[in-house]
Amino acid sequence: MSAERPIDTLVTGNSYAELPSRFFVPTAPTPLRDPYFVAVSPHAAALLDLDPSAIAEPSFVRALAGSDAIAGATTIATAYAGHQFGSWVPQLGDGRALLLGERRNALGESWEIQLKGAGETPFSRMGDGRAVLRSSIREFLCSEAMDALGVPTTRALAIVGSDDAVYRETPETAAVVTRVAPSFVRFGTFEYFAARGDAEAVRTLADRVIDRHFPEAAGAERRYAAFLQSVAERTARTIAHWQAVGFQHGVMNTDNMSILGLTLDYGPFGFMERYDPDWICNHSDHLGRYRFAAQPSIALWNLRALAAALEPLLDEESAAAALACYEPELRAAYLALCRRKLGLREWPDDSYDLLGDLFALMGHARADYTQTFRRLCEVAASPTDADEAFCEAFAARDVEARSWLERYRAAIRTSGLGEDVRAAAMRAANPAYILRNYLAQTAISRAQQRDYSAIERLLAALRAPFEERPEFADFARPAPEWAESLEVSCSS
């Protein structure tokens, strides 16, 4: 193995592997056969000070497929537990992910690097430890799209594929997606040790996370209460972003909740197209536990589970006080995002009703969530042709839509922003492009034929989602009829 290979500079160590042995299991990846390059995110590569063209080189591809060792990497599968659909599962862990280690960039930021789909681990629980190309493409595109939308998220560096067969509902081909985050610690990591009565491990983990990622808690007199409060605040802001952009995670189990408030583990996710607060993107969620409107309350449920896991470190009263910030922070963050979406400097007296009535109109008309707000960017303080484009989605409720527009005009006149300033601000808050399910499926279908150009083109649009460009006009269209039957599940 040559020390001059670019891949050998990828990681500089694995500090998580320096924790006590009960935190992880050393695990070698299972190589993919004849791996090939699929995609790279130049924006994620920039986080790591990497040349994206180097990632397509054979040595990089083989290493990211688990075929070649990487200098300095100590591959481990980490232990965690979790509540899945509300039911306690005492041991989960990295069933198909391996932590390679971390890399410090020129800004001094430390990034953990993980291979998802690298083969069986001690936590695979009868699974094969593999990820399929389909789900890998979805996670890759959505991670990078969410970041461009301003939503806190883990990142995706690259995808490598193989013709190795992976069996889910039907035979598919394998892939590994390289994920990047400051930390992959989850709520369920704390739950794992708390359930075993291992207070020492809970404290060790909390101290590690606080010292690395929560400076506001590190210097606090009651550091663990301050830590829980910061986690609650970060989680609230992320959920507010989800609701504002119409994103549904699909599987908000506690093992899928990032301690840093990042969007973590892209499984059966989706961006809402036709507005429906009770929308369920995961066809495995038969009871609708994780439906769109339930995400804020589920996040609080999960935070309470985290607080219970931190019981060795803080009393019940302190935990309750720390979590009391969640709902006010969520409301403030969400309303601030919606105020920007509506182009208001502040909320006039009746604007909360204005927002609720717009959602009611959208629900009755099954209007496209993203397109409705994007068209609203063009509506002016006086009637124009843009009114017709906006009202088009509400044909069956035209009178109500026009009445709502008059109220909206009164609000923007009261807000006092100049027309050009307001329109520009709204376009910077309401994306033209989201990862619609049919767009992802189109890219997947082409990739399954070894044509990766659709991934690259879609990524280019999603990395600048607020910038409307003629060459991406097709990405702004609502889903065609054939896409109505598309479903996503936990199978990946």
Could you give the CA distance from residue 415 to residue 245 in angstroms, rounded to a whole number? 23
Q: Which helix (H) or strand (E) holds 398?
A: helix 398-415
Backbone angles phi, psi at 318, to 5 degrees: -65, -40
User: Is the alpha carbon torsion for 68, 44, 144, 40 positive or negative?
Assistant: negative
Q: Got the DSSP string for 254-287? A: GGGBBTT--B---SS-EE--B--TT---BTT-TT
CB proximity list for 481: less than 8 A, separation 6 or greater: none
| Structural contact between residues 188 and 81, judged by C-beta atoms closer than 8 angstroms | yes
User: Is the alpha carbon torsion for 287, 291, 293, 298 positive or negative?
Assistant: positive
User: Is the alpha carbon torsion for 378, 382, 387, 390 positive or negative?
Assistant: positive
Could you give the CA distance from residue 410 to residue 382 in angstroms, rounded to a whole number? 10
Q: Got the DSSP string for 440-485? A: HHHHHHHHTTT--HHHHHHHHHHTSTTS--GGGGGGGSPPPGGGGG
Could you give the CA distance from residue 113 to residue 184 in angstroms, rounded to a whole number? 9
Q: b/e map of 149-171 (b: 16 or more CB within 10 Å)?
A: bbbbbbbbbbbbbbebebeeeee
Could you give the CA distance from residue 281 to residue 396 in angstroms, rounded to a whole number? 26
Could you give the CA distance from residue 207 to residue 215 in angstroms, rounded to a whole number? 11
Measuring CA to CA, how many Å separate 346 from each of 340, 411, 427? 9, 9, 17
Could you give the CA distance from residue 180 to residue 315 in angstroms, rounded to a whole number? 34
Secondary structure class of 129 (helix, strand, coil): coil
| Active site amino acids | 255
Could you give the CA distance from residue 284 to residue 282 in angstroms, rounded to a whole number? 5
- Which of 296, 48, 80 lies closest to 195, judged by CA? 80
